[in-house]
Structure 1
Amino acid sequence: MELRKYGNTDMELSVLGFGGAEIGFQQAIPEQVEKLLGSALDAGLNVIDTAECYNISEELIGKTVSHRRDEYYLFTKCGHASGLELPDWDPAMLEQSIDRSLQRLKTDYVDVIHLHSCSEELLRRGEVIQVLQRAKEKGKTRYIGYSGDHKAALYAVQCGAFDSLETSINIADQEAIDLTIPEATKRGMGVVVKRPIANAAWKTGEKPENAYAHTYWERLIALNYEFLRADIRESIGTALRFTLSIPGVHSAIVGTANPDRWIENAKLLDAGLLPELMYNSIRARWKEVSGNDWIGQG
């Protein structure tokens, strides 16, 4: 699998990474996760992304692949108390949360800790950034980053404190292509993309049951991309290749609890990047249809 140098860091990330939300929220069993992550690592995946609030995700990752820790880069996020007694974003809580994440993941350090969709107001106050900087000084993380979208993400990029940006980009969510990615690239930041296939909101042909994908469904109705009328695997492949064709993007995080799905997604990239004509047509359609309120989705 193709590797891309992650900004000014010393990491080279696989273009397709694993997102740990689904295994946590679906409460996957360890045997299922061991097969899923083991086969992904064997196939060349080298980045695993999770968060403190993804239910049992961190624990599952720690139980199943911590013995292969030198084979992958490990990203997690902090900001939500998720069972700790202090309130969200309290600096003392953040420190406790980082230590809890390391315990759950069965590791002494992570490669990146991202602030988890922190508001611009909190970023400007500075205390939450200082917590991550102290964690870096203590060796609990090698790099620090911001995970989020829209104006808060732009401030995070421009403030100069972070090594990494995790943000939403896909065929239905293109604000970051103009707003934050060029700024991040100029500053040598690594960029990892969440929701790279827009939650495949079109896959059933009907509005998804999960409200998390409703905004994308509504946007895709308006965008009316012709390629979404193709076979579902082909259309997902086109969507994923679009995201990875965006200049400045280093890796796309795809979440699944299906042990075979990551390998299937990796095969979709065999065709390489999108042809320039198709990429430009998707961008042009977005610019033609999108409204000012079509901001990045967390």
Structure 2
Amino acid sequence: MEQREFGRTGMKVSMLGFGGAEIGRGTDALAVDKLLGSALDAGLNVIDTAECYGESEELIGRVLAHRRQDYYLFTKCGHASGMELDDWEPKLLEKTIDRSLQRLQTDYVDVIHLHSCSEEILRQGDVIGVLQRAKEKGKTRFIGYSGDSTAAVYAIATGVFDSFETSLNIADQEAVELTIPEAKKKGMGIIAKRPVANVAWTKENVDRNDYAYSYWKRLQELEYEFLRDDVSVSVSQALRFTLTVPGVDTAIVGTQNPDRWRQNAALLEKGLLSAEEYRAIRQRWHEIAKSDWIGLT
């Protein structure tokens, strides 16, 4: 698996990373052990999770604490799962960071991201201070912002963050021009989340309350020709698009399927998209995308 320089951090990250949201929804430890163990053995070295992803942090800690030096560990704070207080109250943030370390069975993570924090809260400065103190105390090597649109623009402009995680895929391209170029100028490592648009085009119908609904609706209008191909071909094209976007260092993909990592890695065997393929997708986006098609958290 090819690795890329992760901004100014000095880390070299695998092009594909593991997103921990899905395993937090009732996956047993044996399945997670098989899934993550095989992924690490095959060259993946980025695991991204969050304190609000159910049991995700606990499962990762339980099955991978003994291999802590084999991967970069990213988590997020700001949605205080299980605590009846303001999500962005500084003392609570500090407690959730400590709780994350306990769950992950580690003394430190490589990056802590503020999880979709609003511009209003960012401007107050307190939450940024919490992350900076965590870095000073060695609880995290670097700090980052995970989010989209105008809040992300402000976060990048502060110059304090080392890492930027944002939604990016064939149905979500706002970041290509709005945020990623500036983040890259500032030396930030770039993580693409939701890189295959929840594979929404493979579903005949999607409930309006489903996480993938907005992407499904957009893709009905975008009508990329390659989405008519076999699923393996269309998913490969979508994933390769995300990784072809200039500035992207790694794309995190979540799954509960122990065999999925090798399947995802195989999708990249053709390498990145050609300049012509990339331009076609971008052109279609510019032709069809509406002004309210902003980055989706």
Instruction: State how far apart, in whole Å, the 1-side matches of 2:77 and 2:283 are.
Output: 36
Shift of 1:21: 0.2
Alignment correspondent of 2:165: 166
Cα distance in 2 for partners of 1:163, 1:205 equals: 40
One-letter amino acid of the counterpart of residue 172, structure 1: A
3-state secondary structure, aligned to 1:274: coil
Partner Cα distance (1:236, 1:209) in 2: 23
Matched, 1:285 2:269: no
Q: For residue 104 of structure 1, what is the aligned residue in structure 2?
A: 103
How much identity, in percent, do the aligned residues show?
66
TM-score by length of 1: 0.98
Secondary structure, aligned partner of 2:9:
coil
In the TM superposition, what whole-angstrom CA distance separates every residue of 1:144-174 from its partner, at most 9, and x where no partner exists?
A: 0000000000100111110000000000000
- State the secondary structure of the residue aligned to 2:190: strand
* Counterpart AA for 2:59: L
Deviations, residues 73-125 of structure 1 (Å, cap 9, x unaligned)? 00000001111243211100000000000000000000000000000000000
**Partner residue of 1:80?**
79
Q: State the match for 2:11 in structure 1.
A: 11
- Inter-CA distance 209–292: structure 2 relative to 1 (3 Å threshold): closer
**Cα deviation 1:122-145 (Å, max 9, x = unaligned):** 000000000000000000000000
Cα RMSD for the two superposed structures: 0.9
Matches within 5 A, 1:113-192: 113-192=112-191
**Contact 1:201–1:208, Cα closer than 8 Å, also in 2:** no
Query: Structure 2: how far apart are the matches of 1:124 and 1:263?
Result: 42
How far has the Cα of 1:4 moved from its partner?
0.2
Q: Using the alignment, how far apart are the partners of 2:270 and 2:205 within structure 1?
A: 28
| Structure 2 stretches lacking a partner, 5+ long | none
- The 5 A counterparts of 1:1-298 are 1-25=1-25, 27-207=26-206, 211-298=210-297
Task: Report runs of 4+ in structure 1 exceeding 6 Å deviation.
Answer: none
Q: Structure 2 counterpart of 1:185, which letter? A: K
Query: Number of matched residues?
Result: 297
Given that 1:208 and 1:217 are in contact with CA atoms closer than 8 Å, whether structure 2 keeps it comes out as no
Q: Distance in 1 between matches of 2:209 and 2:195?
A: 17
SS of equivalent residue, structure 1 residue 244: helix
CA contact (8 A) 1:17 1:45 kept: yes
